[in-house]
Amino acid sequence: MNRSYHITILLLLGLTFLTALLSENFTHQKYLVFTIILISVFKFLAVAFQFMEMKHAHKMWKTLIIGFLTLFIGGIGLAL
């Protein structure tokens, strides 16, 4: 395996641990849901661009994925 794969896996594990830590210790925070969803979006981007080879895809697909996630996060942010 490539070294960047190992770094990505460690990053994903760290973000998963951070999500579990936040959900257990900060249950009454106002923007906890938004924070956890934002971390999940970063995890999705890491998986999509590293393991699904989206970094080699056409610019249209990259733009569509990032644009959709931006609209998704923006909609959730406005709903809160």
Contact (Cβ atoms closer than 8 angstroms) between residue 15 and residue 9: no
With a cut of 90, say whether residue 30 has pLDDT above it.
Answer: no
Q: At what angle do helices 59-79 and 32-50 cross, to 10 degrees?
A: 170
pLDDT of res. 26? 84
State the Cα–Cα distance between residues 10 and 17, nearest whole angstrom.
10
| Average of per-residue pLDDT across 46-62 | 91
Q: What is the pLDDT of residue 77?
A: 83
Q: What's the chain's average pLDDT?
A: 90
Q: What angle do CA 59, 62, 64 make, to 5 degrees?
A: 105
Q: How far apart are CA 53 and CA 70, in angstroms?
A: 20
Predicted confidence band of residue 15 (pLDDT cuts 50, 70, 90): very high
Averaged over 38-47, what is the pLDDT? 94
